[in-house]
């Protein structure tokens, strides 16, 4: 569900020169929780959303997979082909 998203997050963190400790501070989430999520031991949507917020990414959920919205997924959202996750969809 989060495999590709984790890789995208890692790539974005590296590009921004941000550590897990810094991400933890900005999200208000324990560093150990961030690490568990990033290594695949935790599949928390809450953690994914908090990371996405800090990295200024928009998450979309489609066919059982979370991903960062791109121009293509944004067009699909407009066309109603991809359902964005909200708190109501938990």
Residue 55 token pair = 């990295």
What CATH number corresponds to the domain at position 7? 1.10.260.40
Mean pLDDT of 17-23: 96
* Range of the structural domain that residue 55 is part of: 3-85
Q: Who wins on pLDDT, 74 or 22?
A: 22
Residue 14: pLDDT band by 50, 70, 90 thresholds? Answer: very high
Residue 90 lies in a domain: no
1 bridge partner residues:
none
The pTM score is 0.74
Residue 74 lies in a domain: yes
Asked if residues 18 and 72 have their Cβ atoms less than 8 Å apart, the reply is no
Count of domains observed in the chain: 1
Report pLDDT digits (tens) over 28-64. Answer: 999 999 999 999 999 999 999 999 999 998 888 888 8
Helix (H) or strand (E) holding 61: strand 59-62
What number of residues does the chain have? 90
pLDDT on residue 27: 96
Report pLDDT digits (tens) over 71-89. Answer: 544 455 445 554 444 444 4
């Amino acid at each position: 569900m989060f495999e590709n998203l984790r890789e995208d997050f890692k790539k974005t963190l590296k590009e921004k020169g941000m550590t897990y400790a810094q991400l933890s501070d900005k999200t208000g989430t324990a560093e150990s929780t961030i690490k568990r999520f990033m290594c695949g031991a935790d599949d928390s949507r809450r953690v994914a959303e908090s990371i996405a917020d800090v990295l200024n990414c928009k998450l979309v959920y489609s066919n059982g997979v979370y991903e960062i919205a791109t121009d293509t997924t944004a067009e699909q959202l407009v066309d109603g082909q991809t359902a964005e996750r909200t708190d109501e969809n938990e």
